[in-house]
Structure 1
Amino acid sequence: MTVTKPPTAAEDTAPEETGTRTAGRGRLVLRRLVRNRLGLGGGMFIVLLFVGAFVSPLLYPWDYRTQDDYALLMPPSPEHWFGTTKLGEDLFAQCMRGLQKSLLIGLLVGVISTGVASVVGAVAGYFGKATDRALMWLVDLLLVLPSFLIVAILSPAFRGKSWLLLVLLLSAFGWMIASRIVRGMTLTLREREYVLAAKFAGMPAWRIIARHIIPNMASVLIIDATVGVGVAILAETSLSFFGFGIQPPDVSLGTLIASGTESALTFNWLFTFPSGLLILTVLAVNFFGDALRDALDPSSKRARVRSKR
């Protein structure tokens, strides 16, 4: 005679109820996001920026390194959409190349910083005691250090090497504040019933953190990553503007703005187009981040107002 073990409450309801709950929340978040026109426009503009930065070089006849000796400092025209530099380089091609670097660096720094913050904050909050004190001491130390100055000092040592080193430098100083937020939330989540049940069942600590702690902070982490992208783009542009970031012969929005500053009142397109792209990019990221916050945070007043319309 075969005895069938009755499923536990968690086994019986978890797949169906969790799937239904996740789908329902996903539809609610999407509805809130769609109704936020400013945020939706920002998200669509970010997509257009990525498409333009990575697809247009394949279709545009000019390369960012090519020089047109017959078009030196020419204003925008059908042949050169953003005009040319004093060496005859096509500014549109250079802006798209610079936008590639800024978007990639911003995206990577935002994701890496949020990942480090979630791990450090969750580990500190879950284990507490000596682990918490040691990690928070490290966070406080890094918060005191002048990150921009340190990156500026270290970046010349990596001159001529991969720009991914700049991503690591920016990521190393971009996770501390978020880790404190994650730690505070973990202190609350570790006392929840499902976390205590998993602990008493013998589940390893790393698995509890990965399956029960961090997923319940997903909305906060997504918002932090989105905001971090905009901050990282500004940081990379600032470093490149002062000569500490992307180095020639490569270009970024920061190097283009720096080279066009002296011509801002004479050959204004050299300054207007790179700086305009930077402003629009950061604004789009911030608008999209605000929309995500309103859509993911059920306590957001603006989200409730939009969902009732």
Structure 2
Amino acid sequence: MSEPPEQGQRKNSFLARMGRSFAMFRNGKSITGLCILGFFSLVAIFSDVLAPYGPLEKDFSALRQPPSGSHWLGTTHMGEDVLSQLIYGTRGVLVVGFSAGIIATLIAVVIGVTAGYVRGWRSESLSALTNVFLVLPALPLIIIVASQYQNPSLLLISSVLAITGWAWGGRVLRAQTMSLRNRDFIQAARANGEPLYRIIGVEMLPNLTAIIASSFVGTVIAAVLGLTTLAFVGVIPITNLNWGTILFWAQQNGAFPDYWWWYVPAGLCIALLGMALSLINFGIDEYVNPHLRSAGERARAMRKKGIKISSSVTTVRTQPVRKKS
């Protein structure tokens, strides 16, 4: 039995909106960032296979050894392989970053979209809650909470980072939802008696996908930086191995500046992961902002025609005049 034509058109329009929402990942910046992020994800998944040694395996015959054939990134003061620690530490960084991003994004979507759609005291109460979390000093609060546990789990660290990092995304989603609730298609869905969950889930959320993705990426960046900061200051125990833990032990044992192989690779990994997430965020911003999107499309069109974007003068091509016979 074939579906009604109205239902088929509604389904096609929903799929079309979802396709346009995920078109933000088709530009060069997002693709580059996704490739780098994919590389770190593969390293985290296959860390047991890729690491040449155990993260705490000691070689007392090679203490503070510079990069060599047996230890590609050198060793620590206890003869531990730096490359193996980097590979195993990638998993903890990505788990905390993405867990905190998912939890914070869910909280931001629920509170932000609800505060933007409802009216009256309920909207003002949720907005006041968002403002309170927005001005909370995140890092001192995270240090206080994490220091209360002798061996905090990655889920606990992710939850604390998420609770202190959802407010910015919630405020942006509230503002965007308030601009959407008076659109014609929302008013039509409300007039047709559509339930609230369907108006928000089917009509609004596809139009908020780019904002939600940008909020998620920004939260992941903040969570990664927060985790490495907590590990570097010594709040997180050494059992939770990550890139910040490597920097902590390097600082505690006088690796700066002589033993560069101990701290430079971890710093580069943090910078590369941050750059990948920032490139994804830039690509999303270019898609969300119509001015940036049109400028990017013009720049790509000019590059295809062989015209340099930095050129101050555009070459005018003229056709040769045909002589009359």
TM-score normalized by the length of structure 2? 0.84
Matched, 1:274 2:270: no
Aligned residues: percent identity? 26
**CA separation of 1:308 and 1:239: change in aligned 2, threshold 3 A:** same
Kindly provide the CA deviation profile for residues 233-267 of structure 1, in whole angstroms up to 9, marking residues without a partner as x: 1111111111223x112311111112213312121
1:152-171 matches, cutoff 5 A: 152-171=143-162
Identify unmatched segments of 5+ residues in structure 1. 1-5
* Alignment partner of 1:256 is 2:256: no
Residue of structure 2 aligned with 1:88, choices 74, 79, 99: 79
> Which of residues 35, 41, 55 in structure 2 aligns to 1:44?
35
State the secondary structure of the residue aligned to 1:264: coil
Q: Which of 203, 206, 225 lines up with 1:212 in the alignment?
A: 203
C-alpha displacement of 1:40: 2.7
Q: Give the partner amino acid of 1:253.
A: W
User: SS of 2:124's equivalent?
Assistant: helix
Tell which deviates more after alignment, 213-222 or 13-22.
Answer: 13-22
Higher mean C-alpha deviation, range 294-303 or range 261-270: 294-303
Q: Pick the aligned partner of 2:166 from 171, 175, 178.
A: 175
Partners of 1:83 and 1:110 lie apart in 2 by: 33
C-alpha RMSD of the superposition: 2.4
Amino acid in the other structure paired with 2:154 = W
Contact 1:97 1:252 survives alignment (8 Å):
yes
Comparing 223-232 with 53-62, greater Cα deviation is found at: 53-62
Q: CA deviation at 1:18?
A: 4.4
TM-score (norm 1): 0.88
The answer on whether the counterparts of 2:136 and 2:164 sit within 8 Å (CA) in structure 1 is no
Mind listing any 5+ residue stretches in structure 2 that lack a counterpart? 303-325
- Supply the AA of the counterpart residue of 2:233: F
- Determine if contact 1:76/1:83 at 8 Å carries over to the other structure: yes
In structure 2, how many angstroms separate the alpha carbons of the residues matched to 1:296 and 1:188?
15
> Pick from 99, 115, 140: which aligns with 1:108?
99
Report the CA distance shift for 1:27/1:122 in structure 2 as closer, same or farther (over 3 A). Answer: closer
Aligned positions, number = 298
Instruction: For 2:94 and 2:14, locate their aligned partners in 1 and report how far apart those are by CA, in whole Å.
Output: 35
Trace 1:293-308 onto structure 2 (pairs within 5 A).
293-300=285-292, 301-308=294-301
> Could you tell me how far apart the structure 2 residues matched to 1:293 and 1:43 are?
15
Which of 1 and 2 has greater Rg? 2
The answer to whether the Cα contact below 8 Å between 1:297 and 1:303 also exists between their aligned partners in 2 is no
Give CA deviations for 1:151-194 in whole Å, capped at 9, x if unaligned.
Answer: 10110222313211000000001111111111111112111222
